[in-house]
Amino acid sequence: MNNSKKDWTDQLPELLEGYTEAEPEGLWDAVRSAMEPERRRVKGAWWFALGAAAAAAVAAIIFIRSAAPSEEVSIASGDLVAEVVAEPETPIIAEETASQEQEKEEQPSEEPEAPIAQEEIVSDVVLEETAPQEPVLEEVIPEKKEPAPEEKIEPAPEKTVIELKKSRRQVPRIQVGVSRTGYLAQAAVSTTSGVGIPSFAVTKADGTTAPGLSMLSRNKTSTTEGTHTQSARLSLTLRVNLTSRWGIETGLVSSTLDSRFSTTVGNSLSETTRSIDYLGIPVYITYNLLEWKSLGLYLCGGPMYEFSVGTSTESRTYIGGTLTGSDVDNSPINDRQLSLNAAAGVQLKLFRRGALFLQGGGSYHFANDDSPESFYTERPFSPNLTVGYRFLF
Amino acid sequence: MSERELLELIRSGDPSGMRMFYDRYAGYLTAVCSRYVVDRSAVKDILQEAFIKIFKGLDSFEYRGEGSIKAWTGRIVVNDSLKYLKGSSRIEFIDEIPDSPEEEEEEVMPAIPPSVLQEMIKQLPDGYRTVFNLFVFEKKPHKEIAVLLGIKENSSASQYFRARALLAKNIKDYWKEHEQQ
């Protein structure tokens, strides 16, 4: 096949170079009268979603706190815990009973005091005429009864138990976290270059090779380099500890994929930078490995579903090194991504209701035939490091 | 009047300059836009916005010789057409394979009126037509087309192949029909 022959499609631009069509009716009037400013695009649906998720998380926390069960107090020290299991009600009641009895016993001493006062007054008046009265105190104040031995309250040994048990960790039931994830993988780079139609264009979608295409060539050398990165990911999560070890976590995750494409054809250069914003909903299972004083170790993992919420594409064209055109396009690219994530973390409780955490893990994004080329498609697996703060409830 | 003279006329504030500019390029830009967008009312909206951008950008446009203004305005219309197609999700990338058996393609295209060729391109399915236009008329590689349309590079290539095959078939059919006549 002679690749120097001109492709018939190369004749089309020349054929239609001077072709014109009648412009739509009223176009000039519309252009002349309507030099209106560009409409603002209200971006931020995803910010609204974040705010709604935060409000829902706060409402859930308030609701759960209002119905929070009583907490078990435990002193944890490694695997062995000295736990005071008390039945406070029994001794308290007993004490109250004793005190009540004391009050009852003391009460009679109060009543005679009134008449004592009166008698004293009377006696003051009739001192000269009557014989001195017997000391009232002896009559009024009865002997103090000592409680019977059987009534004496002694803490029953069997009611106060000090037991050695396995650790019962103090795990907050609800944790709301805010975090930032940085990616440890380098930018993914893809390069396509060659003369003529790239090889992938020769193979048809059904897998067979298209006859006739191999004889055609555009006789042009083009090189396109793509560089893909992922910006830091921001997360707002809600973790609910179902037991002292197991829990579930969900929330909202925001991330941005940046791609830069550079195509060189002869002395012309075309640069395109594209940003795709994603909003993700993770559903993780968490497992608390260890809780020691203020330190905790945990594992978490599960799937996350992400969907694109905004796209921005900026294109620039250079000819001979001089910028000849630029364009910004915010048309959306609909993309869905499913990934599997796993991480191990350490959490340090700084305050009664707050803890810092550091988490290292990785993500794997499953291939999606409809997805545009991006960091997810060029580097499906990427390690990451997350740092954040959790509010404990 | 050359493009440079026309440009200077507009920049001088002459009210007739804009109308002259419009009369000179409206037909060409309508043809470019119609090759991407079939809906006539949408073509009017796109061209309206494009002309506003063009007139606003003429002050800062750097003239690079005869034909540079035409190329620049054409790019603006193409970009706005793509925005319209992508924004309204009107681009459907179908996977239908032409019913006709594989044939050797002609290296030289038979004589065919531009208006007929334009109409044949318009009749291509949306995905085929968009990729074909970008590859053939804008001379963009498939990787860049994939970035612009948010599709995979292989998808761009397969769409172009199918568009090309379908268009070649239609051209051959037209030629055979008119040859007999």
Same domain, A215 and A341: yes
In a shared domain, residues B80 and B12: yes
Residue B92's pLDDT is what? Answer: 66
Query: Between residues A269 and B107, which one has the greater pLDDT?
Result: A269
Residues of A in contact with B46 (CB under 8 A): none
Task: Report how far residue B151's alpha carbon sits from residue B112's, in angstroms, rounded to the nearest whole number.
Answer: 32
A333 chain-B contacts, CB cut-off 8 A: 86, 150
Mean pLDDT of A104-123: 44
Range among A58-72, A85-99, A129-143, B165-179 with highest mean pLDDT value: B165-179
Mark whether B9 and B79 lie in a shared domain.
yes
**pLDDT tens readout for residues A366-388:** 987 777 888 888 888 989 999 99
The more confident residue out of A225 and B138 is B138
pLDDT score for B107: 57
CATH of the domain at B31: 1.10.1740.10
Residue A147 confidence (pLDDT): 53
Q: Do residues A270 and A322 touch, judged by C-beta distance below 8 A? A: no
Residue A130 has pLDDT above 60, yes or no: no
**Is the pLDDT at A173 greater than 70, yes or no?**
yes
Complex-level ipTM: 0.84
The answer to whether residue A32 neighbours chain B at the CB level (below 8 Å) is yes
- Is A208 an 8 Å CB contact of chain B? no
- In the DSSP assignment, the letter for residue A215 is G
In a domain, B109, yes or no: no
Q: What angle do CA A359, A362, A367 make, to 5 degrees?
A: 150
Q: Do residues A135 and A194 share a domain?
A: no
CA distance B168 to A216: 14
Name chain A contacts of B82, Cβ cutoff 8 Å: 329, 331
Contacts of A331 in chain B (CB under 8 A): 82-83, 86-87
Q: Which residues of A touch B160 (CB under 8 A)?
A: 201
For residue B151, the chain A residue with the least C-alpha distance is A372
What pLDDT was estimated at residue A72? 41
Report residue A16 as tokens: 């239609």
The parent domain of residue B61 ranges over: 3-87
Across the interface, whether the CB atoms of A370 and B152 are under 8 A apart is answered yes
User: Are A248 and A144 in a shared domain?
Assistant: no
State the total domains in chain B: 2
User: A35 vs B52: CB contact, 8 Å cut-off?
Assistant: yes
Alpha-carbon gap, residue A216 to A172, rounded angstroms: 69
Distance from CA of B6 to the nearest CA of A (A): 18
Q: In this structure, are B83 and B118 located in the same domain?
A: no
Residue A39: pLDDT over 50: no
At A192, list the tokens.
């396509």
SS3 A60: helix
Q: Is the pLDDT of residue A89 over 50?
A: no
| Residue A330 pLDDT greater than 80, yes or no | no
Candidates A28, A261, A331; nearest CB to B83: A331
**pLDDT higher than threshold 80 for residue B98:** no
- Residues contacting A190, CB < 8 A, separation 6+: A225, A226, A228, A373, A378
Domain containing A152 equals: 80-166
**Model confidence at A205: pLDDT above 50:** no
Q: Which two tokens stand for residue A201?
A: 């264009």
> Rounded to an integer, what is the distance from CA A185 to the centroid of its chain?
22
Who wins on pLDDT, A156 or B47? B47
Q: Does any domain span residue A101? A: yes
| Amino acid at residue number B170 | N
Whether the CB-CB separation of B60 and B4 falls below 8 Å is answered with no
